[in-house]
């Protein structure tokens, strides 16, 4: 199939690229652009590892075609840190042991990043529901929930 040209904003930078229409966004980010931070788990929308933010909302990038982000704003885990400085959420994951093998981490981070922007003061239950679409097989969620709660608490005390 012929590739199609797409133009979109990726982590704040304008990008032009071409993609085969059948390539899903996660594969395109990894193989087309070399951004391997976005992980591919199940490829049928169950595990959440491939979660990225498109036009401000969290989506499963295995369930979206690369050609569909033409004209969109895409954010991936690579866009969170500023150089070597981790984002507050990434730092909290580190502090609270929110990751172990790291496979689910990019998806967890992007889900929580999008969720916390829209819900600045969630309860622990809200956070658990928000990450219910992201499967972790080793850390066990507790550290992840604590990391999210720490970010919420830090924001509340600084405002």
Partner 1 sequence: MKAPPFQYHRPQTCEELGALLANLDNAKILAGGQSLMPMLNLRVLAPDHLIDINRISELSGIRETANGIEIGAMTRQADILASPIICARLPLLACALEHVGHIQTRSRGTIGGSCCHLDPSAEQPAMCAALDAEFVAVGPNGRRVVAAEDWFQGLLQSALDDQEFLEVLRFKPWAKRHGYGFAEYARRHGDFAIAGAAALLEVDSKSAITRAALLVFGVEPAPRRLRGAEAVLIGQTIHDITFAPIVDEARALDPMEDTHVTADYRRHLAGILINRALGDACSTSERSQ
Residue ranges binding partner 1 (CB under 8 A): 1, 4, 20-24, 27, 43-45, 48, 51, 57-60, 62-65, 67-68, 111, 114-115, 129-130, 132-134
Q: Which of 75, 76, 80 is nearest to 94 (CA)?
A: 80
Kindly state the smallest distance separating residue 148's Cβ from partner 1, in Å. 13
Provide the CA 158 distance to its chain's centre, in angstroms. 25
Kindly state the smallest distance separating residue 132's Cβ from partner 1, in Å. 5
Q: Rounded to an integer, what distance in angstroms lies between the CA atom of residue 134 and that of residue 111? A: 8
Q: Rounded to an integer, what distance in angstroms lies between the CA atom of residue 52 and that of residue 112? A: 11
Looking at the Cβ atoms of 60 and 96, the one nearer to partner 1 is 60
Kindly state the smallest distance separating residue 139's Cβ from partner 1, in Å. 18
Which residues neighbour 80 within 8 Å (Cβ) at sequence distance 6 or greater? 86, 87, 89, 90, 109, 113
Looking at the Cβ atoms of 68 and 100, the one nearer to partner 1 is 68
Kindly state the smallest distance separating residue 85's Cβ from partner 1, in Å. 27
Looking at the Cβ atoms of 44 and 82, the one nearer to partner 1 is 44
Which residues neighbour 62 within 8 Å (Cβ) at sequence distance 6 or greater? 24, 25, 26, 27, 40, 41, 42, 43, 44, 45, 50
Looking at the Cβ atoms of 126 and 153, the one nearer to partner 1 is 126
The helix or strand, by DSSP H or E, that contains position 144, with its residue range, turns out to be helix 142-158
Kindly state the smallest distance separating residue 124's Cβ from partner 1, in Å. 15
Looking at the Cβ atoms of 45 and 102, the one nearer to partner 1 is 45
């Amino acid at each position: 199939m012929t590739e199609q040209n797409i133009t979109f904003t990726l982590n704040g930078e304008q990008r032009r690229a071409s993609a085969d229409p059948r390539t899903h966004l996660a594969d395109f980010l990894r193989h087309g652009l070399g951004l391997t931070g976005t992980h591919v788990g199940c490829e049928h929308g169950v595990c959440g590892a491939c979660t990225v933010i498109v036009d401000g909302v969290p989506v499963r990038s295995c369930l979206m075609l690369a050609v569909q982000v033409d004209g969109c704003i895409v954010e991936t885990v690579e866009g969170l840190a500023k150089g070597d400085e981790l984002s507050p959420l990434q730092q909290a994951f580190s502090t609270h042991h929110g990751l172990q093998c790291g496979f689910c981490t990019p998806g967890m981070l992007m889900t929580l990043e999008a969720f916390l922007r829209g819900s600045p003061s969630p309860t622990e239950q809200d956070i658990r529901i928000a990450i219910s679409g992201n499967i972790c097989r080793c850390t066990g969620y507790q550290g992840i929930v604590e990391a999210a709660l720490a970010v919420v608490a830090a924001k509340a005390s600084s405002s």
